[in-house]
């Protein structure tokens, strides 16, 4: 009975697709979750040897990875496009690109390594669990970082928790580990701008309106720290005209841009104005 159930699970874990389905079921689908493709043919002896092993491994990873089979005899254009010269050829796709592959009837450990490299890591699973268990979120996120110190998902989830209770130094250190991550840059920019939020706005506005460039810079930074970006940018860009304040004003404006995101209307409006002020 158990053997019959396992056989059914293996069959269900791998499905056949046609050449017409390749774009949607492999390339497009791989942007949502990894897809492994077994390129085979009915006349191929090694393909028949590989098939049950592939199905067994695919069944173990079915929660995270889709697996399909494509008969190369019915898909010559795809075979040529992917330069398939021998079968069985197994290729793993993620985000529309090939991220792993092997050729020939490989043993189960080789197949397992291919699949294991595609699914979520233990750190990924902990971050996902933290999203559904807020009471234990910090503990779970710290466990994830113990496994992967630069795990972007864990960092950008933990940093707001730290910032919210005033532990800004640790949050800043964590966010600094992943400078290329857009969300991390946004959080770090918000954190840096928040330090200027306590200024006396009325006093600064009076001085700025009287032509004090330093006061304009301080006013812009204070407004930005309070999240009033539309009001902050005119003062910051005005301060950028002053040669002695230019670098600090530019840095602050770019931090506001990071907070807003490159597609924001304010960024599109003020980026050329900043350039004009600098040059």
CA–CA separation, 3 vs 257, rounded Å? 59
- What letter would DSSP give residue 31? G
Residue 87 β-bridge partners: none
Please give the Cα distance from 81 to 84 (Å, whole number): 8
User: Mapping DSSP to helix (H, G, I), strand (E, B) and coil, where does residue 164 land?
Assistant: helix
67: three-class secondary structure by DSSP: strand
Phi, psi of 37 (to 5 degrees): -115, 130
Whether the upstream peptide bond of residue 42 has omega within 30° of 0, thus cis, is: no
Are the beta carbons of 120 and 107 closer than 8 angstroms? no
The residues that are catalytic are 44, 47
What is the C-alpha to C-alpha distance for residues 179 and 234, in angstroms, rounded to an integer?
27
Which residues does 111 contact at the CB level (< 8 Å), separation at least 6?
Answer: 53, 54, 57, 90, 102
Identify the bridge partners of residue 35 per DSSP, sorted by sequence position. Answer: 66, 93
């Amino acid at each position: 009975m158990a053997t019959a159930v396992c056989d059914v699970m293996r069959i269900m874990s791998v499905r056949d697709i046609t050449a017409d389905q390749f774009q949607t079921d492999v390339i497009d689908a791989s942007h949502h979750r990894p897809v492994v493709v077994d390129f085979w043919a009915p006349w191929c002896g090694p393909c028949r040897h590989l098939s049950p092993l592939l199905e067994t491994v695919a069944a173990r990873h079915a929660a995270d990875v889709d697996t399909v089979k494509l008969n190369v005899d019915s898909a010559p254009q795809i075979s040529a496009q992917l330069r398939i010269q021998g079968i069985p050829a197994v290729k793993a796709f993620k985000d529309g690109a090939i991220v792993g592959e092997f050729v020939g009837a490989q043993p189960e450990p080789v197949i397992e390594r291919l699949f294991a490299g595609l699914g979520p890591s233990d750190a990924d699973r902990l971050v996902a669990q933290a999203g559904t268990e807020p009471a234990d979120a910090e503990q779970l996120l710290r466990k994830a970082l113990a496994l992967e110190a630069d795990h972007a998902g864990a960092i950008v989830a933990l940093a707001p928790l730290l910032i919210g209770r005033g532990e800004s130094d640790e949050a800043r250190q964590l966010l600094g580990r992943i400078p290329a991550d857009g969300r991390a840059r946004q959080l770090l920019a918000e954190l840096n701008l928040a330090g200027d939020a306590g200024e006396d706005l009325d006093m600064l506005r009076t001085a700025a309106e009287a032509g004090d460039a330093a006061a304009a810079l301080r006013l812009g930074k204070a407004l930005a720290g309070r999240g009033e970006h539309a009001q902050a940018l005119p003062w910051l860009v005005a301060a950028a005209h002053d040669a002695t304040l230019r670098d600090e004003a530019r840095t602050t404006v770019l931090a506001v841009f990071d907070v807003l995101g490159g597609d924001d209307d304010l960024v599109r409006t003020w980026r050329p104005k900043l350039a004009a002020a600098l040059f």
